[in-house]
Chains A and B, each alone.
Chain A
Amino acid sequence: DTAVSQTPKYLVTQMGNDKSIKCEQNLGHDTMYWYKQDSKKFLKIMFSYNNKELIINETVPNRFSPKSPDKAHLNLHINSLELGDSAVYFCASSQSSEPQHFGDGTRLSIL
């Protein structure tokens, strides 16, 4: 009965590879988000979708491409992974002006 679930929890891969992280929420929320938390625990929003429409797109390299097949899912695909992409990526969701609910994160390590 997890509210916001991300897969995988851990992802270890080589530089240059392409990988995807999946996120699903069962809260019926209309908005979903991706955040990046760096090694110093700093959290920064990357993208947000509202009802499958992109509404927030921060200055993120275009190697990062979010996709929202429906309002319950928001996936993140990353091309040509670089060392600096190593971080914890959090998915979150919210309904209108209510607070955001976060998943447990995906720890991405680039070798």
Chain B
Amino acid sequence: AQSVTQPDIHITVSEGASLELRCNYSYGATPYLFWYVQSPGQGLQLLLKYFSGDTLVQGIKGFEAEFKRSQSSFNLRKPSVHWSDAAEYFCAVGATDSWGKLQFGAGTQVVVTP
């Protein structure tokens, strides 16, 4: 079975600074990997996904993530955060043999300071 770990429960970053959120997964084969963002009182919005191919994927809102098989990681980055990026971020992994059964990490709350 697949699993995913987000080591950072909470991150505080200054507006304009760079942001990196860590995600490590456990799965025997190549997984499907996702990053979702949840703003307060809202549902989850897909930021980006990795299925195969280029290991650096671009997403919406200026986010990107890099799949590193050797480190079992899929870290999310943004070069310059905006106050509107304050939210909860979830990494998720899906197995190729049970597509819909996404396993979510515990989430990382991002606080943006002026």
- Interface residues of A, Cβ cutoff 8 Å to B: 4, 31, 33, 40-45, 48, 50, 55-56, 90, 92, 94, 96-97, 99-105
Known contacts A41-B88, A104-B43; is A99 also within 8 Å of B104 by CB?
A: no
Decide if A44 touches B104 in the complex (CB within 8 Å). yes
Decide if A103 touches B100 in the complex (CB within 8 Å). no
Task: Write the chain A residue with the least CB distance to B99.
Answer: A97
- What residues on B are CB-neighbors of A96 within 8 Å? 99
The count of chain B contact residues (Cβ–Cβ below 8 Å) is 23
Say what secondary structure dominates the interface of chain A: strand
- What residues on B are CB-neighbors of A31 within 8 Å? 100
Decide if B100 touches A55 in the complex (CB within 8 Å). yes
Decide if A41 touches B107 in the complex (CB within 8 Å). yes
Assembled-state Cα–Cα distance A40/B46 (Å): 20
Within 8 A of A (CB), among B26-84: 32, 34, 36, 38, 41-46, 49, 51
Decide if A102 touches B101 in the complex (CB within 8 Å). no
Task: Write the chain B residue with the least CB distance to A101.
Answer: B46
Please give the distance in Å from B46's CB to the nearest CB on chain A: 5
Please give the distance in Å from A75's CB to the nearest CB on chain B: 17
- What residues on A are CB-neighbors of B32 within 8 Å? 97
- Interface residues of B, Cβ cutoff 8 Å to A: 32, 34, 36, 38, 41-46, 49, 51, 88, 90, 98-102, 104, 106-107, 109
Assembled-state Cα–Cα distance A48/B98 (Å): 11
Contact of A56 (CB < 8 Å), options: B38, B49, B51, B100: B100
Decide if A102 touches B106 in the complex (CB within 8 Å). no
Decide if B104 touches A42 in the complex (CB within 8 Å). yes
10 sampled A-B residue pairs with Cβ under 8 A: A4-B43, A40-B106, A55-B100, A56-B98, A94-B100, A99-B46, A99-B49, A102-B43, A104-B41, A104-B43
Contact of A45 (CB < 8 Å), options: B49, B102, B106: B102
Known contacts A41-B88, A99-B46; is A48 also within 8 Å of B106 by CB?
A: no
